[in-house]
């Protein structure tokens, strides 16, 4: 049973782990990529409804996760495939969730649930395969901590600094066979040292940075600006992550101390951290942006980029100093801020996920721009 805080209840069938879970219920419009969604740390504290009706048909494998394992609280689908029909698969979706202690519910009307969330907004929910009293589960849903004011970054950040892909075996494009066979000749020399602040970073972001000639040191959220600068970085990257950005002063205050000292590039939560570091405000979206095919206008090129997104908060551009901060990207569905750039300093950010590469344009140009900024600073 899935119960929402407004009293709405859905009945389905359990798969994955036979346990209870609570969190904010959101919907994701992606057709494929469910393993990447499940393992995205930005979903910590949330239960994800997939709008595509059949999920799990190509199973899961050991290479496609965006982190070490599932990060969401529960998965909600119309039908969970029992067949893992792909030669790379090492387990079915249900087996994978069960192994990691994550519950799933299938057989509910996900179209109805999605429309409900679109009309009323994302809301707290609770899923159980043992407690089947509707009133009890609704009460448990209402007891779930709201997303506003919640810090989930502490649960997903790394505990100690580490070097990403020190032996250059994980960052090359996946080939027929495996990544490691051709790694030495496919990656460019590591010309720049980048420090990435891990608020829940996705592995594909790290791969993209390495593919653009960066050697990346990942540090925990809350690492001070002085500690970061002591690593002598050519640039600093601010990662994606879960929860309310306004609840992370221990991150954006340190980001504020970095601005102007080194080139900075932020994605998703990193974009919001920069918005707050610039003195702006963030606010919660009604049901957020989760999934593929979100049209974003690049105001500099006047091209529309078809993007992958995963966020429940946005930066309020009117709260920023427009003489200092330029609006570079706008969401064409709801006109929310999708990109910012400092007019004088080497600092820029986007709300969407360029590393996910869903659209027809070059999805990695922003990583190239980050490299150009570091190259410019190095040349003086």
Task: Look up 355 and say whether it is catalytic.
Answer: yes
From 379, 329, 374, select the one nearest 349 (Cα to Cα): 329
CB 212 within 8 A of CB 205: no
Contacts 24+ apart (CB under 8 A), 139-142: 140/3, 140/20, 140/22, 141/3, 141/4, 141/5, 141/22, 142/5
Residues 6 or more apart whose CB falls under 8 angstroms from that of 301 comprise none
As a whole number of angstroms, the distance between CA 375 and CA 380 comes to: 9
From 172, 171, 226, 218, select the one nearest 199 (Cα to Cα): 218
CB 269 within 8 A of CB 232: no
Residues 6 or more apart whose CB falls under 8 angstroms from that of 111 comprise 51, 78
- DSSP H or E run through 282: strand 281-298
**Which is the catalytic residue, given 212, 289, 294, 353?**
353
**Which is the catalytic residue, given 268, 271, 290, 294?**
268
Task: Look up 268 and say whether it is catalytic.
Answer: yes
Residues 6 or more apart whose CB falls under 8 angstroms from that of 86 comprise 58, 59, 61
Residues 6 or more apart whose CB falls under 8 angstroms from that of 7 comprise 138
As a whole number of angstroms, the distance between CA 208 and CA 357 comes to: 11
> Which residues are annotated as catalytic?
268, 353, 355
């Amino acid at each position: 049973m899935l119960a929402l805080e407004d009293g709405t209840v859905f009945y389905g069938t359990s798969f994955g782990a036979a346990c209870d879970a609570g969190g904010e219920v959101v919907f994701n419009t992606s057709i494929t990529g469910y393993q990447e969604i499940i393992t995205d740390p930005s979903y910590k504290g949330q239960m994800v409804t997939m709008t595509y009706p059949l999920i799990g048909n190509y199973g899961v494998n050991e290479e496609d996760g965006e982190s070490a394992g599932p990060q969401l609280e529960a998965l909600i689908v119309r039908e969970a495939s029992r067949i893992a029909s792909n030669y790379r698969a090492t387990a079915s979706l249900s087996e994978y969730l069960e192994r990691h202690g994550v519950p799933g519910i299938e057989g509910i009307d996900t179209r109805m649930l999605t429309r409900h969330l679109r009309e009323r907004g994302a809301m707290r929910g609770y899923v159980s395969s043992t407690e089947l009293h509707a009133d009890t589960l609704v009460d448990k849903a209402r007891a779930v901590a709201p997303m506003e004011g919640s810090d989930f970054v502490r649960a997903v950040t790394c505990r100690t600094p580490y070097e990403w892909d020190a032996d250059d075996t994980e960052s090359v494009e996946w080939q027929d066979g495996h990544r490691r066979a051709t790694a030495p000749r496919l990656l460019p020399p590591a010309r720049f040292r980048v420090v990435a602040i891990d608020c829940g970073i996705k592995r594909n972001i790290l791969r993209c940075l390495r593919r653009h000639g960066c050697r990346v040191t990942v540090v925990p959220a809350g690492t001070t600006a002085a500690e970061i600068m002591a690593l002598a970085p050519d640039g600093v990257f601010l990662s994606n992550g879960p929860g309310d950005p306004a609840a992370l002063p221990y991150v954006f205050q340190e980001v504020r101390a970095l601005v102007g000292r080194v080139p900075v590039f932020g994605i998703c939560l990193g974009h919001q951290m920069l918005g707050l570091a610039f003195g702006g405000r963030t606010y919660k979206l009604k049901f957020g942006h989760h999934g593929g095919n979100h049209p974003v206008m690049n105001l500099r090129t006047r091209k529309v980029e078809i993007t992958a997104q995963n966020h429940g908060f946005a930066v309020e551009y009117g709260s920023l100093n427009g003489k200092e901060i330029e609006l570079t990207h706008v969401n064409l569905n709801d006109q929310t801020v999708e990109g910012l750039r400092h007019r004088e300093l080497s600092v820029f950010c986007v709300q969407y996920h360029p590393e996910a590469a869903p659209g027809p344009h070059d999805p990695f140009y922003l990583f190239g721009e980050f490299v150009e900024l570091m190259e410019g600073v190095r040349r003086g």
